[in-house]
Amino acid sequence: MTIVEYEAVIGLEIHAQLLTESKIFCGCSAAFGGEPNTHTCPICTGMPGSLPVLNRKAVEFAIKLALATDSHVAPVSLFARKNYFYPDLPKGYQISQYELPLSANGSVEIPLADGGKKRVGITRIHMEEDAGKLFHDETKPFSYVDFNRTGVPLLEIVSEPDLRTPQEAADYLRVLRAILQYLEICDGNMEEGSFRCDANVSIRPAGAQNLGTRAEVKNMNSFRHVERALTYEIERQKKVLEGGGAVVQETRLWDPVKGVTEAMRGKEEAHDYRYFPDPDLVPLTISPQWVEEIRKGLPELPLQRKGRFVKEYQIPEYDAGVITTSKTLADYYEECVRLFPDPKQVSNWIMGDLLRLLKEDDKEVDTCPLSPEQLAEMLGIMKDGTISGKIAKTIFEEMYKTGKGAKEIVEEQGLVQITDEAAVTQAVAEVLQNHPKEVEEYKNGKEKLFGFFVGQVMKATQGKANPQLVNEILKKKLS
Ligand code: ADP
Ligand code: MG
Ligand code: ZN
């Protein structure tokens, strides 16, 4: 039997909601939420005779993203009608772009697990309007529809099938979200759906040139879900092929509770949508001058900020990369360093303990219960010797859980470091007395027992003894 090694091929379609004040073709508020059907007017509810007027700010935001992803900005692009029938789409068509999108041929750089980098191609970025939202109440024989979201501007960002693993897909998403956030054109909130993605995935024998048949997976509203759903889907496709079957081109839904993807519908083809240029909208022309003006006003982007962190704070490229993938995390970091100017120490705590706790809670730093002031206060009392590094770990978790300050916790729990020589000497003496056998062995040359003694003293003092002092006194007593 020959065993075929498969490789996965992944391409993502991202939808990013733009942070404009008003909707893309009318003056209604584009804000998230609001009482149902209060952000509506004849245009966004598709009343006959109403006419769309393009929002200039939305175009400006789209150009910003195009420039930040090295994409080509088309001097002329077209809006098209994408026809389909669904209760959340009042006009019976969505205004989108099809032939002649606003932008094409870009790329971004993503970090790889082995420390390297990879360029991921961006096929196209186009503008479109969002649909409404349906609510189903199982106890009622009908459903509700909220049109507040219809007409909110979206960018659709289509990648080349350049991604090879679920992790690369998640990293690509992180990079794009960071760029959108740095540009301040999308809040990147996956839970609220303002940043969402459909993942197209296929597998093929490793090294093959042709692409396999793809499935499209929808309904993943966190990075973790994207990775889990793709991992599941790749395995599923392998089993299908190994069982002698063929992958069907279809749309599948990720069920995060069951941890599986399930077939939703056959994949629609472009001709199913009967695209045609929207006769209500003139072609969009963008002058080179406008593009240049926007280019000049671009803010610092993630890669640039990463470079600056390496230079300015002298932290490793890896640290700088992790910290700058989120604008809020990078802001958090810079604020901590301003309050406690030891950049590497700060980055260690953020990359280690803080990110671990946030990940456990599936939280982002913008909802972090621990402020830069609190972290700086803790690092301060660790530096002046009030607490040991070990106790600091405990205090950190406690601050994170309770929101209390470091000094407050130290006082409440009596966690002040023992730096009193007499007290440490006493603890050391007791430990040695209680372990005569180990002392004997140590003296006979089993030197690695030294760590054991240190551990016992730390345990006896509930981690409060100053480790350096413990080392010194132990060495003296054992020699
Ligand atoms: P559609 O809009 O019908 O889904 P697109 O041509 O826009 O079709 O492609 C959508 C995404 O699917 C793109 O990101 C592309 O890279 C990806 N893709 C296309 N073919 C494959 C394939 N065989 N395997 C994995 N991804 C694919
Ligand atoms: Mg698609
Ligand atoms: Zn409106």
pLDDT per residue as tens digits for the range 270-296? 778 999 999 999 999 999 999 999 999
Does any ligand 1 atom lie closer than 6 A to the CB of residue 247?
A: no
In a domain, 129, yes or no: yes
Single residue among 273, 293, 313 that ends a domain in this structure: 293
Does any ligand 1 atom lie closer than 6 A to the CB of residue 208?
A: no
Does any ligand 1 atom lie closer than 6 A to the CB of residue 7?
A: no
19 and 62 part of one domain: yes
Q: Which of 133, 151, 134, 153 is nearest to 142 (CA)?
A: 134
pLDDT higher than 90, residue 45: yes
What is the count of structural domains for the chain? 3
**Which ligand does the CA of 218 lie closest to?**
2
Residue nearest to atom 6 of ligand 1 (CA): 158
Q: For residue range 288-345, what is the model confidence (pLDDT) as tens digits?
A: 999 999 999 999 999 999 999 999 999 999 899 999 988 999 999 999 999 999 999 9
324 and 382 part of one domain: yes
281 and 345 part of one domain: no
Does any ligand 1 atom lie closer than 6 A to the CB of residue 161?
A: yes
**pLDDT recorded at residue 16:** 97
CB 317 within 8 A of CB 198: no
In a domain, 1, yes or no: no
304 and 275 part of one domain: no
**pLDDT recorded at residue 464:** 79
322 and 387 part of one domain: yes
221 and 72 part of one domain: yes
Q: Which domain holds residue 431?
A: 421-478
Single residue among 395, 413, 431 that ends a domain in this structure: 413
For residue 163, give Cα distances in angstroms to 46, 173, 401, 478. Answer: 39, 11, 37, 58
**pLDDT recorded at residue 416:** 73
27 and 107 part of one domain: yes
> 82 — phi, psi (to 5°)?
-105, 105
Does any ligand 1 atom lie closer than 6 A to the CB of residue 294?
A: no
314 and 397 part of one domain: yes
Single residue among 293, 327, 343 that ends a domain in this structure: 293
**pLDDT recorded at residue 2:** 67
Q: CA 133, CA 193: separation in Å to the nearest integer?
A: 11
pLDDT higher than 90, residue 88: yes
217 and 311 part of one domain: no
CB 46 within 8 A of CB 92: yes
Q: Where are the alpha helices (DSSP H) in 104-202?
A: 166-182
262 and 390 part of one domain: no
CA contacts within 13 A on the Cβ side of 119:
9
313 and 436 part of one domain: no
119 alpha carbon – ligand 2 mean position (Å): 21
pLDDT higher than 90, residue 238: yes
pTM of the model: 0.83
> 128 — phi, psi (to 5°)?
-160, 175
Q: CA 22, CA 19: separation in Å to the nearest integer?
A: 9
72 alpha carbon – ligand 2 mean position (Å): 22
Work out the mean pLDDT of the chain and round it to a whole number. 93
DSSP helix/strand/coil, 308: helix
**pLDDT recorded at residue 361:** 86
DSSP summary character for residue 25 = S
Does any ligand 1 atom lie closer than 6 A to the CB of residue 353?
A: no
